[in-house]
Amino acid sequence: MIRILLAGQGGQGVLSAGRFLAESGLHEGKEVSYLPAYGPEMRGGTANCSVIISQEEIASPLCNVPDVLIAMNAPSFHKFAPRVKSGGIIIVNGSISDSYAGRDDVKVYDVPMNDLAMEAGDIRSANMIALGVLVAATSAVQEKSIVNCLHEKFVGKPHVCEVNEAAFRAGMSQAAKG
C-alpha cells in the first residue's frame, strides 16, 4: 500500500494529477481511493488530495502520514513535510520552493517542475513532471498506465496529450538523476 499526498496551489493541477494516479491504479486492477480536501481553502489557497493505491482493501482513506508528499509550492511543502512517514519521499517543486525539510529521514527530490514543464511545452504540465518523478521513484503505478490515462483523457487534443506525455517522461528522467 502506498499513501500519496499531493498539495499545491489551486490551478496547479494537483487534483487532476491525483485523479490520474487513482485512475491508473484502477486500470491496473488495484484498490484505490482519492480524497480531495474541500473547504474555503480551495479558493486561492492550497489545494490537496490524498491518493491511496493498494493490493488489498483500503481501510482508512485518510493520509495523515503519507509515504510520499508531492509539494507543488513552498507553503504546501512546509505545511506537509513534517508529516511524511520516516523513510518516505518528498517531491518538491524547486522552481518556486526551497527544499529544506529540516529532517534527514526522508528522501527529497528537488525538481524544477515549472522549468521542466516549460521545456516540455506548457507550464501547466508541471503536475505531470511530478507524476513522472513519482512513478520512477516509487513504482506506485506503471509508466504505461499513466500514459494510457493521458491518451484517454486528452483524446481529441493530441497536442495537449503530447506536451503532458513529454512532461511525464521528463519527470521520469529527472528522478533517475536523483
From 54-62, 72-80, 108-116, 129-137, span contacting other proteins (CB under 8 A): 54-62
Of 58, 74, 123, 147, the residue at the interface with other proteins (CB under 8 A) is 58
Which candidate, 7, 12, 10, places its Cα nearest to that of 125?
A: 12
In this structure, are residues 29 and 93 in contact, taking their beta carbons and an 8 Å threshold?
Answer: no
Angstrom distance (rounded) from CA 36 to CA 169: 26
Q: How many CB atoms lie within 10 A of CB 53?
A: 23
Residues in 18-37 at the binding interface with other proteins, rule: CB under 8 A: 19, 22-23, 26, 31-36
Q: Is 131 an interacting residue with respect to other proteins (CB under 8 A)?
A: no
The runs of H, that is alpha helices, within 68-120 are: 74-80, 113-120
Of 65, 82, 98, 103, the residue at the interface with other proteins (CB under 8 A) is 65
Positions in the binding site for other proteins (CB under 8 A): 19, 22-23, 26, 31-36, 38-40, 58-62, 64-65
